A and B are shown apart, each in its own frame.
Chain A
Amino acid sequence: MQNLSKITKTIITRLIFIAIFLLLGLIVANQYVLYSRIGFANLGDDPEGTALRISRLYSDNEKLRSQIDERQTQLNELQNASISSNDLQRLLQKDRQKYRIITGEGVVEGSGVIINVDHRMVLTQIIDFVNALKNSGAEAISINEKRIVVDTPLNEFDGKNVFLIKVIGDKETLYSSLTRPGGIFELIINGTAERSDNIVLPKVE
């Protein structure tokens, strides 16, 4: 060191200072970025909850996309100035049929699952069970041969010991959501489910 000139010593000292400040800068910025990310992460819920919401949103968005396509096609047809009265009638009938299925005004048929529960269920369990079926994409539901629509109260089934629940919808999704580990049977009440392509549900009484 003694042989180094004063200028060299100054350069080395400055280089050391630069390196130290560069390191400090890296550490400060790294901490800042990390903390801001951790802070953001803490605002939300746990990963499991977020994953569940994502799964639900993904499925909902897919359905909405498909619905938008269908309704856009219908709108385009309606906007077509040359649409005939017959075509218009067909479009209206299509809507009418869909709404009649949802409101339970007609007998409906289709594929889905048939569920048997041979245990007593109280009202809250039945409410949760039906809610879970809707969450799994049920398009039409009946309990003990009574059609369930939006405003059907479930009180009349409270305390019953035998349930025959028929659900029309995607049979694989419904079956899986019922029977998989952590599924509806495990969370609410045990039962058996079978897939079927010929389910018939009565209309609303």
Chain B
Amino acid sequence: MVIGIILAINFNERLPRIISPTSSIITLQEMQNNLEKENELYKDKLAEIENMISVLQDQTKHTQTDLKDLVADVEEKKAKVGLTKIEDEGIVVVLNDSEQRETNPNSIAHASDIRDLVNHFFQNGAKAISIEGAGEKEERISFFTSIDCIVNTVLINGTKIVPPFKIRVLGDRDRMITAINDRVALKQIYDRVDKESLEFHMLDGQIMVKLTKYSGPAEIKNAKLK
């Protein structure tokens, strides 16, 4: 029996071709896992290089005083793009699937809810926003960010994020609090909060809010300044 088990395992380990739909799914998922790991590595590597460049540019301000203003300007613009960490007053909003109702399209948090909220907070003067999912995976919203729903997960900056979502918003707290309580503008969300117990509220006690930097692709190949 032991020999049989060994033979069977060996045979299964050496499947030469994809021969069933199950194998195809496995191959896809293995490929996805590898690409996700690769994505994280690239993001870390890029962040490391960016940090080293920042340090060198900072040193330049002291060694080459004629470039001091230019370095400061570059740093300011880099922050505006979202390539630096930031901390300021703001709010943290929780958006989560209902825990009281059975799963249905109205009781779960969607990528489209996050898109609407991002637009809503910018409409109300937000300075910067990031989205954090379960496992403290945080992604900063930049110009290049798309927030997409792929089956049951949300993909932001190439990172797979699942609820509960924490939407970190920097901006005038009073305005942001008024914005989150706007039941007219956020009707689609509040209707589901009332009827389906979708979780949507502000976290108490978070006055100063920290946002991570944008770490996704930011390639400019076709656009140039006129």
Residues of A in contact with B (beta carbons under 8 Å apart): 21-30, 33-34, 37-38, 40-41, 44-54, 56-58, 60-61, 63-68, 71-72, 74-75, 78-79, 85, 88-89, 92-93, 95-103, 105-112, 123-124, 127-128, 131-132, 134-135, 139-140, 149-155, 168-171, 200-201
From A45, A67, A154, B218 is in contact (CB under 8 Å) with A67
Residues of B in contact with A (beta carbons under 8 Å apart): 1-9, 12, 21-26, 28-29, 31-32, 35-36, 38-39, 42-43, 45-46, 49-50, 52-53, 56-57, 60, 64, 66-67, 70-71, 73-74, 77-78, 80-82, 112, 115-116, 119-120, 122-123, 126-128, 141-148, 150-153, 155, 157-158, 160, 188, 216-226
Q: Which residues of B have CB within 8 Å of A78?
A: 53, 56-57
From A23, A49, A103, A170, B150 is in contact (CB under 8 Å) with A49
Pairs across A and B, CB under 8 Å, 22 listed? A25-B8, A29-B7, A41-B29, A44-B25, A44-B32, A47-B21, A50-B32, A53-B150, A54-B35, A57-B32, A63-B217, A75-B56, A79-B56, A85-B67, A96-B70, A98-B220, A99-B74, A101-B224, A102-B144, A150-B141, A153-B119, A169-B223
Q: Give the interface SS of chain B, mostly helix, strand, loop or mixed.
A: helix
Bound Cα distance from A66 to B2, whole angstroms: 51
User: 4 closest Cβ contacts across the A-B interface?
Assistant: A25-B4, A49-B151, A63-B217, A29-B8
From A45, A57, A75, A128, B115 is in contact (CB under 8 Å) with A128
CB distance from A200 to the nearest CB of B (A): 6
Q: Which residues of B have CB within 8 Å of A75?
A: 49, 52-53, 56
Bound Cα distance from A44 to B153, whole angstroms: 10
Using known A-B contacts A101-B224, A108-B223, A151-B126, determine if residue A53 contacts B22 with beta carbons closer than 8 Å: no
* B80–A103 touching, CB < 8 Å: yes
B144's closest neighbor in chain A, by CB? A134
